[in-house]
Structure 1
Amino acid sequence: MSNEYPPPPGYGEHGQYGQTKPRNGLAIGALVLGIVALLLSWIFVGVVLAVVGLILGISARKRVKRGQATNGGTATAAIVVNVVALVASIALSVLWVVAGNWLANNGGEDYAQCLAQANGDQAAIEQCAQDFQQDLTNAN
């Protein structure tokens, strides 16, 4: 009597239940890029990652339409997340530029120069802050 069991049956290309395995690394990569771009949307890097992720997501969706991949939902989700990340990144980039211009026009450069001249002296730093606050009050 033999204690050996027969080998398990082979499944071929179709997996255990007759389903083809998703073959679309582009969709997963695009989704990961979209999530990271969304997390980094407050800095300009988010724009770059979202654009790359959007290109990969569109390419992945085209592969699904041609029948070369089966995870169309992941590709669609990647496109949506990357579009949201792109819009958020552009909006926040514009906000940074506007805020920087406003700050520069309302005493920000004087404040930075004052802090540089203070050389770590706490009393001088506090005076710089008070002067800057006064400049902001006068600007409004």
Structure 2
Amino acid sequence: MSSEYPPPSGYGQQDQYGQYGQSKPRNGLAVVALVLGIVALLLSWIFVGVVLSIVGLILGISARKRVRRGQATNRGTATAAIVVNVVALVASIALSIVWIVAGSWFLNNGGQDYAQCVANAQANNDQAAVEQCARDFQQDVLNNS
């Protein structure tokens, strides 16, 4: 009496990595890279996003190489990690440039005077003076435009 169905694959058989029922190990490196990419994307508005995305990109590429060598299985996760980290890196660099340009504009348009005015007004606990600093800064920006 022969069965139409083959026996369950891998059941009771240990592979070269000491695991049962699975021919290749999972790729934890890809998962870590993907998590770093997501966190880097969320933090792309500050410089930390650049650092996290670079680390995640390196780990994602390493994970992809492990898949290519047959040491890991989740190629899709490794690829997603690379894509997310590249997007996070581009966003982080773009937003860093925006911060630098905005800060430069602020400093070149009386920002230091405004900051000093606000600091003096807050030291005297004078809210009306803080508001006057803001009005003066707005007027200076409009006059310089």
TM over 0.5: yes
Tell me which residue corresponds to 1:135. Answer: 140
Q: Does residue 38 in structure 1 map to residue 41 in structure 2?
A: yes
Q: Note the residue ranges of structure 1 that are not aligned, 5 or more in a row.
A: 1-8
Distance 2:25 2:82 in 1: 17
* Equivalent residue letter for 1:113: Q
Deviates more, 1:28-37 or 1:119-128: 119-128
Deviation at 1:93, TM superposition (A): 0.3
Runs of 5+ in structure 2 lacking a partner?
1-10
**When the two structures are aligned, how many residues end up with a matched partner?**
129
CA distance in 2, matches of 1:92, 1:70: 35
Distance 1:89 1:131 in 2: 33
- Distance in 2 separating the partners of 1:20 and 1:14: 8
1:117 aligns with 2:120: yes
SS class of match (2:102): helix
Q: Is the 8 A contact 1:20 1:70 kept in 2?
A: no
User: Which structure 2 residues correspond to residues 44-123 of structure 1 after superposition, within 5 A?
Assistant: 44-118=47-121, 119=123, 120-123=125-128
Q: CA RMSD in A?
A: 1.4
Deviation per residue, 1:7-52 (Å, 9 max, x gap):
xx7354353xxx5464211100000000000000000000000000
Q: Percent identity?
A: 78
Q: Any conservation in 1 of the 2:24–2:71 contact (CA below 8 Å)?
A: no
- What's the secondary structure of 2:26's corresponding residue? coil
- My pick for the range that moved more, 118-127 or 57-66, is 118-127
Q: Deviations over 1:51-87 (max 9, x none)?
A: 0000000000000000000100000000000000000
Partner of 1:4: none
